[in-house]
């Protein structure tokens, strides 16, 4: 692992909102990426992860707030933004021209930016492809003639061939099988270590994010509800939504008696959290109290570097749940009870059902 990232953000959204015409889909979000830092962004389908990514790429305008590149408004320097920030997506094959070889597609950005002679462009593209594990033979094939993993490697080569400083990765491994996922994650970690690339890594898998990222931001209904060191958010989530997201992730080694610690409230599945006046998670939250419905909780520090937007954060620190033998949430112990709820809370549901929305 490279040295921890420090200093100012290279690329940063400050208090940014994005509206597609029917209200804010992303609301007052702040995310900064420092050189050599990998930040994970997790959350249910439709919460606004890709919209945030598009805003960081300058592809959708902010309705309020600012996008800063090296501390200055990116809107004043679109050209620099385009060459500094590159992206890879979930389905790499769709982003390649099906009629062209992978090599031609990796050469393309060099052509567009007039980098070197044709021979130099070819040499540079082949070197970049080789670095991500694509041989010259495979590079000569078209997208339909290679595997999903090879296609994603070529997409990474195409994104890094111009030596960007920031890579936005929107669910880059979600469509790949587990062994290929691991190889792509290793490649991203190498790129960060070798080139001090700043990476935004979007996923709906807290475990994958914890293994790769330095920090994690958890998003719900267009707002960041928790943010902190990736291991801290994965092992000791404090926001009820993060805890439910954590416990709803499939784990092979859980005993049959294992129970999630918080259960989502039933019967409010169709409530759009963005329209609620108070906390956007209130309709689904088992810890909601009447005051949660009054005003939106602000993201506030609960520990050093750990921020949570919740009036009743869950205490998941070791030793707080005496019925669990193993306090480390990364390795759940035997069945534990639902955590105590605030005295005046509304009743919780009976079955964990976040797979409906959190894991898709």
Residues near ligand SF4, by CB under 6 A: 240, 279, 281-282, 285, 287-288, 292, 297, 310-312
Q: 139 with 106: CB under 8 angstroms? A: yes
The mark string for 25-44 relative to ligand ATP (x by CB under 6 A, - otherwise) is x-----------------x-
CB of 94 to Mg ion, least distance (A): 14
**Judged by CB under 6 A, does residue 48 bind ligand ATP?**
yes
CB of 11 to ligand ATP, least distance (A): 18
Name the residue nearer to ligand SF4 (CB basis): 108 or 291: 291
The mark string for 142-181 relative to ligand ATP (x by CB under 6 A, - otherwise) is ----------------------------------------
- Chain residue at closest Cβ approach to Mg ion: 50
Residue 285, binding choice from Mg ion, ligand SF4, ligand ATP, none, Cβ under 5 to 8 Å by partner class: ligand SF4
Name the residue nearer to ligand ATP (CB basis): 125 or 155: 155
CB of 354 to ligand SF4, least distance (A): 13
Name the residue nearer to ligand ATP (CB basis): 22 or 351: 22
**Judged by CB under 6 A, does residue 88 bind ligand ATP?**
no
Stretch 175-204 residues interacting with ligand ATP (CB under 6 A):
204
CB of 245 to ligand SF4, least distance (A): 12
Q: How many residues bind ligand ATP (CB under 6 A)?
A: 11
| Segment interacting with Mg ion (CB under 5 A) among 49-57, 117-125, 286-294, 338-346 | 49-57
Name the residue nearer to Mg ion (CB basis): 41 or 233: 41
Angle at 169 between CA 35 and CA 252, to 5 degrees: 110
State which of residues 27, 50, 203, 289 lies at the interface with Mg ion (CB under 5 A). 50
């Amino acid at each position: 692992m490279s040295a921890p990232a420090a200093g100012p953000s290279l690329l940063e959204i400050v208090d940014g909102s994005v509206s597609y015409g029917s209200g804010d889909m992303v609301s007052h979000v702040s995310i900064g990426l420092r050189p050599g830092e990998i930040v994970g962004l997790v959350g249910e389908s439709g919460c606004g992860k890709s919209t945030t990514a598009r805003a960081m790429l300058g592809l959708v305008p902010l309705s309020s707030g600012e996008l800063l590149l090296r501390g200055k408004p990116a809107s004043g320097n679109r050209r620099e933004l385009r060459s500094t920030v590159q992206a890879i997506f979930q389905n790499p094959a769709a982003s390649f021209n099906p009629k062209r070889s992978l090599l031609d597609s990796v050469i393309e950005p060099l052509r567009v930016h007039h980098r070197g002679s044709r021979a130099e462009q070819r040499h540079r593209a082949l070197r970049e492809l080789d670095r991500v594990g694509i041989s010259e033979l495979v590079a000569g094939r078209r997208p339909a003639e290679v595997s999903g993993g090879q296609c994603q490697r070529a997409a990474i080569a195409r994104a890094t061939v111009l030596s960007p400083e920031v890579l936005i990765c929107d669910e880059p491994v979600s469509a790949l099988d587990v062994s290929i996922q691991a190889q792509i994650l290793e490649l991203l970690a190498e790129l960060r270590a070798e080139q001090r690339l700043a990476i935004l890594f979007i996923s709906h898998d807290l475990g994958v994010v914890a293994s790769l990222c330095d920090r994690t931001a958890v998003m719900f209904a267009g707002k960041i509800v928790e943010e902190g060191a990736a291991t801290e958010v994965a092992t000791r989530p404090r926001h009820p939504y993060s805890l439910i997201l954590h416990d709803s992730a499939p784990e092979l080694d859980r005993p049959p008696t294992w129970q999630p610690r918080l259960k989502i409230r039933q019967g409010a599945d169709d409530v759009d959290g963005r329209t609620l006046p108070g906390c956007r998670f209130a309709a689904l939250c088992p810890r909601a109290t009447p005051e949660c419905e009054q005003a939106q909780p602000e993201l506030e520090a609960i520990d050093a570097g750990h921020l949570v937007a919740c009036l009743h954060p869950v205490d998941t620190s070791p030793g707080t749940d005496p019925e669990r033998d193993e306090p480390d949430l990364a390795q759940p112990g035997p069945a534990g009870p639902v955590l105590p709820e605030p005295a005046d809370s509304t009743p919780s549901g009976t079955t964990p059902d976040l797979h409906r929305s959190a894991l898709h």
